[in-house]
C-alpha cells in the first residue's frame, strides 16, 4: 500500500497508521505486471533494458573479459537453447546448482536459467564437502555448474547428474553457438514459479533453502528502479559481495535492468578492489561491513589514501549493521562519498529499506525508509501488540517480496510467516518520527560473520558429535572487523583433556572457513531455562565480561 490523500489516519511524515498500527511506505508507488501473466524475471529485465545497454557491460576485473549488454540477450538465448537440448536437457521446474566465485559469466548464467523456468541454487564455493552434500540433498539439482577448482567437491559427494564446468571450452562454445532452437515451442514461466533457492537459517535452526519466485525478483527490481536517482552519465558498480548471497545475487540481476556496468571480482582482495576503482572509474561500491571497516582502518591508510576516489559517488553497506564509530570515521575520511546502509533478508529477496538521496544518506545509523509496496509493524515481543514510532520491538514486514517458503519445510515457514502474510524478521527495530528504520539488535540467534550467516545450531550439532564433548552452545561474539565471530562454550566429558585448538580444528574440518569457531570457552554447565532452552544471552554476558574457565 502507498499513502494517498484519502488516507487520513496515516501520518504523512512517517507512514504510521494509528488505526491499524501499520507503517506504510513513503516511497512513490511502482507498477507490477498482473500476477497471472506468464513472465520470467529474464523477460522482465530485458523489457526494461534501454539504450544505455549499448554502452554498459559486464567486466571481469581478474581476466579483463568484457561482455557488452547489447550481446547479453543473444548469449542468453544461446545458453538457454543449449540447456534445453541433449546432453543437458533441463526443463521448467528443474533446479541448477551453481558453485562459483563471482565472474562476468554468472549473471548471464542466472538469466539463462530463469528464462527456461529452471531455479538457480548458488552456493559458496568455499563450502565444505559435507555442506555441499547437505545442500544437494535439500535442493535436488538436475544439473550443476561449477568452476574447475571446485568440481572435485561435487564428484566427492557422488553427484551423478550432469556437471558443466564454467571455465571450460564446453561452456564457451555454448555461449558462442547459435542455438537455433526455435522449433515453435516456448517455455511459459509463471511468476509464481520458483526462480531461485538461496540459503538462510531463518530465525533459528539449521540452514534452509529459501524459495524466491520470479515475482519476488520482479518486485525487487521494480522497487529499486522506483527510487533510482536520475543521472547524466552511466553508473559503474564494482561488486565485491558474492553472487551466491542475496545481496550480490539481486545486484547482479538488476544491473542489466538498470543499464549499469558491473565489474566483478572473483575473490575479494583489498588491493585489487582499490586498483579496479581507478582502472574502471567505479562510481558505486556495494560492500560488506568488514570492507567498510578495512577502509577506515589506520593500518590500511597508505593503501587507501593512495587510491584515486574521485569517481566514487556512493558506498553501499549491507548484510550487517555498521557501528556509529565506523560511520563517523568513514564520513571524515571520505567527505565526498555517500555511505548508504540498507536492510533486508534472504526471505525478503534482499533489501526492503535503504536511504535514497543526500538527506536520507545523512541520517546516521538508519537503514533508510521502507520500499514502496512494503508494509511494516513493530511488534512487542512479549504482548504481540503493534507499537507506534520511537518504540522498539520485532520488525514484521509484508509485501510482494516475501519468499514463497522453505524447501521441504512447511513447519519453518509457518513460524516465519503468519496467515496474513506477515514475515517475522527476528530483528529488534524501531521507526523514528520521519519513517526512518533503525536496527537495534537481533532477536534471532543467527550469527553474522562478515555478512555471512552462521547458524549456531549447525555448529552445536558438530561440537556435540565429538566423543569428548558433553554439551555445547555457540554464540555471537562482537568483533570490529567481522561484526561477529562464532564462539563456542563447551562442557567436557569427565576425564577429557580436549583443548581449544582441538575443538577449533574439529569444527574447521567440517565447515566453510567463515563458519569456523574463533573462540572457545570451557565451562562446567550450559545455562538453560526450565524448558531446556539455552540461555544464550547469559553466555554472551559471560563472554563479553571475560568470565572464562581455565584450560
The 10s digit of each residue's pLDDT in 359-405 is 888 888 899 999 999 999 999 988 999 999 999 999 999 999 999 99
d(CA 319, CA 522): 31
Q: Is the peptide bond before 87 cis (omega within 30 degrees of 0)?
A: yes
Contact 524, 531 (CB under 8 A): no
Confidence check: pLDDT of 277 > 60: yes
Contact 80, 73 (CB under 8 A): no
Contact 110, 121 (CB under 8 A): no
d(CA 453, CA 24): 29
Instruction: Mark 266-287 as b/e (b = at least 16 C-beta within 10 Å).
Output: bebeeebbbebbeebbbbbbbb
541 to 417, 491, 536: CA distances (angstroms) = 31, 18, 9
β-bridge mates for residue 98, sequence order: 122, 145
| pLDDT score of 382 | 83
d(CA 249, CA 189): 20
Contact 401, 219 (CB under 8 A): yes
pLDDT digits (tens, 9 = 90+) for 397-408: 999 999 999 998
| pLDDT score of 51 | 47
Strands 119-123 and 95-99: parallel
pLDDT digits (tens, 9 = 90+) for 540-551: 888 888 754 333
pLDDT digits (tens, 9 = 90+) for 281-332: 999 999 988 888 889 887 888 888 888 899 999 999 987 778 788 888 899 9
Q: What's the whole-number average pLDDT of the chain?
A: 88
DSSP, residue by residue, 193-211: SEEEEEEE-TTSSS-EEEE
| pLDDT score of 229 | 77
| pLDDT score of 551 | 30
E-strand stretches of 363-421: 369-370, 375-379, 393-398, 405-406
The residue among 249, 229, 231, 232 whose CA lies nearest residue 241 is: 249
**Which range (44-48, 296-300, 504-508) has the least confidence?**
296-300
User: What SS3 state is found at 133?
Assistant: helix
d(CA 167, CA 417): 40
pTM exceeds cut of 0.75: yes
pLDDT digits (tens, 9 = 90+) for 75-122: 999 999 999 999 999 999 999 999 999 999 999 999 999 999 999 999
E-strand stretches of 387-451: 393-398, 405-406, 423-431, 437-442, 447-449
Residue 346 DSSP one-character state: G
| pLDDT score of 189 | 94
Sign of the CA dihedral with 254 first, then 258, 263, and 269 last:
negative
The residue among 273, 345, 349, 283 whose CA lies nearest residue 304 is: 273
Strands 423-431 and 393-398: antiparallel
**CATH classification of 447-545, choosing from 3.90.1310.10, 3.30.300.30, 3.10.20.90, 3.90.1300.10?**
3.30.300.30
Amino acid at each position: 500500500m502507498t499513502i494517498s490523500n484519502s488516507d487520513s489516519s496515516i501520518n504523512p511524515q512517517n507512514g504510521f497508521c494509528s488505526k491499524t498500527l501499520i507503517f506504510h511506505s513513503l516511497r512513490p508507488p511502482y507498477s507490477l505486471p498482473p500476477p497471472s501473466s506468464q513472465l520470467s524475471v529474464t523477460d522482465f529485465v530485458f523489457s526494461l533494458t534501454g539504450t544505455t545497454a549499448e554502452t554498459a557491460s559486464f567486466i571481469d576485473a581478474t581476466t579483463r573479459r568484457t561482455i557488452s549488454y547489447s550481446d547479453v540477450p543473444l548469449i542468453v538465448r544461446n545458453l538457454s537453447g543449449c540447456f534445453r537440448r541433449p546432453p543437458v536437457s533441463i526443463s521448467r521446474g528443474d533446479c541448477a546448482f551453481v558453485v562459483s566465485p563471482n565472474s562476468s559469466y554468472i549473471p548471464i548464467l542466472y538469466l539463462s536459467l530463469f528464462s527456461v523456468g529452471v531455479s538457480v541454487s548458488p552456493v559458496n564455493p568455499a563450502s565444505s564437502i559435507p555442506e555441499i552434500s547437505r545442500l544437494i540433498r535439500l535442493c535436488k539439482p538436475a544439473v550443476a555448474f561449477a568452476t574447475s577448482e571446485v568440481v572435485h567437491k561435487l564428484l566427492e559427494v557422488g553427484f551423478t547428474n550432469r556437471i558443466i564446468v564454467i571455465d571450460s571450452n564446453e561452456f564457451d562454445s555454448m555461449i558462442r553457438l547459435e542455438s537455433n532452437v526455435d522449433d515453435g515451442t516456448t517455455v511459459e514461466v509463471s511468476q509464481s514459479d520458483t526462480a531461485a533457492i538461496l540459503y538462510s537459517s531463518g530465525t533459528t535452526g539449521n540452514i534452509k533453502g529459501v524459495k524466491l519466485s520470479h515475482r519476488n525478483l520482479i518486485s525487487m527490481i521494480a522497487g529499486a528502479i522506483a527510487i533510482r536517482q536520475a543521472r547524466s552519465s552511466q553508473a559503474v558498480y564494482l561488486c565485491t559481495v558474492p553472487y551466491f548471497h542475496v545481496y550480490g545475487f539481486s545486484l547482479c540481476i538488476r544491473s542489466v535492468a538498470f543499464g549499469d556496468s558491473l565489474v566483478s571480482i572473483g575473490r575479494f582482495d583489498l588491493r585489487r578492489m582499490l586498483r579496479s576503482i581507478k582502472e574502471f572509474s567505479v562510481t558505486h561500491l556495494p560492500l560488506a561491513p568488514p570492507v567498510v571497516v578495512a577502509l577506515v582502518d589506520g593500518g590500511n591508510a597508505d593503501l587507501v589514501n593512495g587510491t584515486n576516489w574521485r569517481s566514487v559517488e556512493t558506498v553501499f553497506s549491507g548484510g550487517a549493521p555498521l557501528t556509529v564509530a565506523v560511520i563517523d570515521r568513514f564520513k571524515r575520511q571520505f567527505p565526498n562519498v555517500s555511505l548508504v546502509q540498507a536492510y533486508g533478508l534472504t526471505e525478503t529477496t534482499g533489501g526492503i529499506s535503504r536511504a535514497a538521496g543526500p538527506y536520507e544518506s545523512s541520517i546516521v545509523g538508519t537503514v533508510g525508509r521502507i520500499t514502496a509496496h512494503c508494509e511494516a509493524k513493530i511488534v512487542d515481543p512479549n504482548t504481540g501488540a503493534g507499537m507506534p514510532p520511537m518504540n522498539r520491538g520485532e520488525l514484521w514486514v509484508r509485501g510482494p517480496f516475501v519468499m514463497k517458503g522453505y524447501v521441504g519445510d512447511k513447519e519453518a515457514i509457518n513460524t516465519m510467516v503468519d496467515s496474513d502474510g506477515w514475515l517475522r524478521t527476528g530483528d529488534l527495530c524501531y521507526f523514528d518520527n520521519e519513517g526512518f528504520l533503525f536496527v537495534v539488535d537481533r532477536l534471532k540467534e543467527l550469527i553474522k560473520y562478515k555478512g555471512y550467516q552462521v547458524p549456531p545450531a549447525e555448529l552445536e550439532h558438530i561440537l556435540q558429535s565429538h566423543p569428548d564433548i558433553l554439551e555445547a552452545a555457540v554464540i555471537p561474539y562482537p568483533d570490529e572487523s567481522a561484526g561477529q565471530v562464532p564462539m563456542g562454550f563447551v562442557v567436557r566429558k569427565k576425564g577429557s583433556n580436549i583443548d581449544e585448538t582441538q575443538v577449533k580444528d574439529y569444527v574447521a574440518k567440517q565447515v566453510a572457513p567463515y563458519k569456523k569457531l574463533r573462540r572457545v570457552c570451557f565451562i562446567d554447565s550450559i545455562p538453560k531455562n526450565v524448558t531446556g532452552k539455552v540461555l544464550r544471552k547469559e553466555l554472551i554476558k559471560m563472554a563479553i565480561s571475560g568470565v572464562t574457565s581455565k584450560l
